[in-house]
Structure 1
Amino acid sequence: MKLRTTLGASLGAFALLLSTAGSAQAAQGEFHYKYVDGYGQERHVTLHDPHGGKCVNLHAVGEDDELPGYGPHNDTDAAVTVYLGASCTGAEWRLRAHGKPAKDTLELRSVRFDAPAAR
């Protein structure tokens, strides 16, 4: 009987862990940046609930041979470090959680969001 109770409790705890694991790895909210495409048109990109703790090369600007993105706005619940180089290299700046939009002079190619605290 104790084995069945222990097994049931263990499975319940494991299910709870799995249900919260995804949200603990993502910053909640949106991160925005702009870039100029190959036709000279300004484009806006939004990352929804971006993953925390890993480097992300940004769409259309994430390679060092491309023009960088600019004007980031961190409206997530986690701080983020933006990098001028691909693969989170080069000059870097910190943007606070739910901060104001940065000026268009702030350029970026990659980002790393802080892993948010457990909710």
Structure 2
Amino acid sequence: MRLRSIFTTVLGAALLAVSVSTPASAASGRFFYDYVTVEGYDATGFLTNPADDECINLPGVGQENPEPGHTPRNRTDTWATVFTGTNCEGDSFRLRPHTGGASQRLKVRSVVFG
């Protein structure tokens, strides 16, 4: 009888730990973008399983880099809205889930999913 109680307690604690450690809502997949580094090299940045409803400034193309990112490709399962400025400001463009993408002409510095 006591062994069953201990097992139930341990199982409950394990399930609680798993449910607390997983994000409440996140896009599944990757979001890609190309950019030129401050040193002048071509690079590809990406976000893996980004959080929903949270503005994300894209690494490598923030205010420290005068060149914005370009050619965004949304391979997540959620709509992505890209912005020309940091902090999800400026002009925006929506990219559909899984296959959404844009040409090199679309300049980006931040994105929000959802």
* TM-score, scaled to structure 1: 0.75
| Cα displacement (A) at 1:28 | 0.3
Distance 2:100 2:55 in 1: 22
Distance 2:85 2:41 in 1: 22
CA contact (8 A) 2:95 2:101 kept: no
**Structure 1 residue 89 and structure 2 residue 110: aligned?**
no
Q: Secondary structure at the residue paired with 2:32? A: strand
Q: What letter corresponds to residue 69 of structure 1 in structure 2?
A: G
Q: Secondary structure at the residue paired with 1:87? A: helix
| Cα displacement (A) at 1:39 | 2.5
CA deviation vs aligned residue, 1:40-90 (integer Å, no higher than 9, x gap)? 211001111111110000101122863110000000000010000110000
**Structure 1 residue 67 and structure 2 residue 67: aligned?**
yes
Distance 1:105 1:20 in 2: 41
* TM-score, scaled to structure 2: 0.78
What residue ranges of structure 1 are gaps of 5+ in the alignment? 1-7, 115-119
Distance 2:61 2:109 in 1: 5
Q: What letter corresponds to residue 38 of structure 1 in structure 2?
A: V
CA change 1:106–1:19 in 2 (3 A) is same
CA deviation vs aligned residue, 1:8-29 (integer Å, no higher than 9, x gap)? 8xx95xx469628735421000
